[in-house]
Amino acid sequence: MKRTLWLLILLLALTVTGCRDTSTTSRELFAMDTVMNLTVYQPRAESLLNQAEQEIRRLEALLSVTDPGSEIAAVNRRSATTVTVSQETADLLRLCLGFSEETHGLFDITVYPAVKAWGFTQDTHTVPSEEALAQLVTQIGYEKMAVTDSTVTLPQGMAVDMGGIAKGYAADRIAALWKEAGCTGGILSLGGNVLTVGEKPDGSLFQIAIQDPADAGGMLATLSLPGNTAVVTSGDYQRYFEQDGKRYHHIIDPRTAAPAENSLTSVTVITSCAARGDALATALFVMGLEEGLNYVNQTAGVEAVFVTKQSRVYYTTGLAEGLTPESQQYTFTQKN
C-alpha cells in the first residue's frame, strides 16, 4: 500500500519533470518496515542518495523496538529504572516527551506495552482482554519518564516506541545532511512521510499526492506546496488486522490502550518539521475530527486534512489555495 503511495508521488514528480528526465536521481529502498523513496533534482547524485540511505539504516539500528541491538531495545529491557543512553537518543526521547506534552499524551512515547500486546511489532496479532487493556493503561504515561543528557528513567513495566516519529525524524535528518552537502532540491517519501527539500530546478511548487484511504491505488487530493514542507499521513489502512469482521489498526489511544475509535480514517499534517508532523498526525488521529480541527486551527504553522469513514474530507484554511480534490467519491469542505 505504501508502495502505491510512492508510485503516485513518483508519477506526479515525473509528470512535472518530464518522463525521460535525466536531471533527477532516485532510489527506492525498504527500511523501517516500509517502502521509501528518495529523489534529488540533480543528475548523478548517487552520493547524496548513499548518504541518505546510510542515515536511514543508522537510525533504524538505533531506534528499532524489535532489533535487540538497538538502543531503544536496550532501554526497554533495562534491569534498573535508570539507564545510560547516547546523547542522540536522549535528545530524541526529550523531543518525544515534548510532543507528548504538546498533545496532552495523545501522542505518547511510552505507548509500547500496548503496541506489543496487540502484536503490531511481531505480526502475530491478538485482541487483549478487557482486564489486560486496563492493566496496559497503567503501563502508559509519558509523565513518568525522565530524560537527562545521558540517562533515561522509566518505571519497570513501561517501554518506549519511536514508531510514531522515527520516519519523520529520519526525513528531517536527511534534509539537513543534504543541505550541508550543497543539495539544492529533492523530495523524500518515507512511508507516509513526505518532505520537500530546497527547491525544484524550475522554481515551481512541489505536487504531493494524498492517498485515497479506501483505494490503495487512488489519489484523494494533491497539494501544491513550497520546499521544506512535511506532509505526514497517519491512517487506519496503513497497518491493521481483522478479526471477527472488525478492523484493528496500529494507532493506539493511550487512554484505552486500544486502537483509536472515532470517525476518522486518515489525517494528513502539513508543517515544516517532519518529526513534529509525524507526532501530530498520530495524535490528531487519536483526537478525532472536531477536537483535531480545533487543535490545528489554534496551532500556528500547522495545516491538516482529515478524512472520515463517511467519505468526507475537511481541510484547514491554510490549504485553501494548495489543495486540489482528485476523487469524486469524497465531499471536500474547508473548515476554519
Site residues, ligand AMP (CB under 6 A) = 107-108, 111, 115, 120, 161, 163-164, 234, 238-239, 250-252, 254, 278, 281-282, 286
Minimum distance between the CB of residue 191 and Mg ion, rounded to whole angstroms? 10
Check residue 282 for interaction with Mg ion (CB under 5 A). Answer: yes
Task: Between 113 and 254, name the residue whose CB sits nearer to ligand AMP.
Answer: 254
Q: Binding residue for Mg ion (CB under 5 A) from 161, 172, 212, 278? A: 278
Minimum distance between the CB of residue 285 and Mg ion, rounded to whole angstroms? 8
What's the N-to-C CA distance of the chain in angstroms?
Answer: 32
Grid coordinates given for 240: 491493521
Check residue 108 for interaction with Mg ion (CB under 5 A). Answer: no
Minimum distance between the CB of residue 202 and ligand AMP, rounded to whole angstroms? 32
SS3 for 193? Answer: strand
Secondary structure (DSSP) of 68-125? TTSHHHHHHT-SSSEEE--HHHHHHHHHHHHHHHHTTTSS-TT-HHHHHHTTTTTT--
Residues 197/303, Cβ–Cβ less than 8 Å: no
Task: Between 227 and 254, name the residue whose CB sits nearer to ligand AMP.
Answer: 254
SS3 for 318? Answer: helix
DSSP 8-state assignment for residue 8? H
Minimum distance between the CB of residue 44 and ligand AMP, rounded to whole angstroms? 33
Positive or negative, the CA dihedral 97, 103, 109, 111 is positive
CA-closest candidate to residue 55, choices 82, 81, 36: 36
Q: Quick one: what does residue 286 bind among ligand AMP, Mg ion, none, with the CB cut-off 5 to 8 Å set by partner type?
A: ligand AMP
Check residue 139 for interaction with Mg ion (CB under 5 A). Answer: no
Minimum distance between the CB of residue 178 and ligand AMP, rounded to whole angstroms? 22
Task: Between 121 and 184, name the residue whose CB sits nearer to ligand AMP.
Answer: 121
Q: Which residues bind Mg ion (CB under 5 A)?
A: 164, 278, 281-282
